[in-house]
Structure 1
Amino acid sequence: MTLNLSVQEMEVVERLAEEKGLSKTALLRQALRLYQSISKRLDDGEKVFVEHPTTKEKAELMVLS
């Protein structure tokens, strides 16, 4: 499979893979699983939130389709 990314997108993939100690393939697999999980919940009418660890403030995660 060939994946065409912009220079900026590839830099993000490389930086995140290094920070997380993952190969680029493993990082992209995790990203796909996360996207699939979020997409399913949104398709089922659920909302997805992120929570600040100390203030417990919540923000709704918005996914553009």
Structure 2
Amino acid sequence: MAAKKTMTLNLSPAEMLALERLAEQKELSKTAVLRQALRLYQLIDARLADGEKLFFEDPEEKKAQVMVL
């Protein structure tokens, strides 16, 4: 595994609260949440670059919502 690097991250109070809540809900560290978010963003970005679409489907209403990033 490559050596890890340390960085300083400036978040708004709302962003920090969202990060703290996600970390607590998922029982992960804030660093782990950010790593997962980065991996997910990389995956989504690559698939969108390949022409794929991202959407969420409401199973009850049978509706899909296309997400644009």
Give the 4+ runs in structure 1 shifted more than 6 A.
Answer: none
What displacement does 1:56 show? Answer: 3.3
Is 1:45 aligned to 2:51, yes or no?
yes
Residue 5 of structure 1: aligned partner: 11
SS of corresponding position for 1:42 = helix
What displacement does 1:51 show? Answer: 1.5
Is 1:23 aligned to 2:29, yes or no?
yes
Structure 2, unmatched stretches of 5+, are 1-6
Residue 4 of structure 2: aligned partner: none
User: How many residues end up aligned between the 2 structures?
Assistant: 63
Cα distance in structure 2, aligned partners of 1:16 and 1:53: 24
Residue 58 of structure 1: aligned partner: 64
% identical equivalent positions = 62
Cα distance in structure 1, aligned partners of 2:27 and 2:59: 23
Structure 1, unmatched stretches of 5+, are none
Which is richer in strand?
Answer: 2
**C-alpha distance after superposition, 1:15-63 (max 9, x if no partner):** 1110111110110001001101110011111111111233332111111
What is the CA RMSD across the aligned residues, in angstroms? Answer: 1.1
The TM-score, its normalising length taken from structure 2, stands at: 0.82
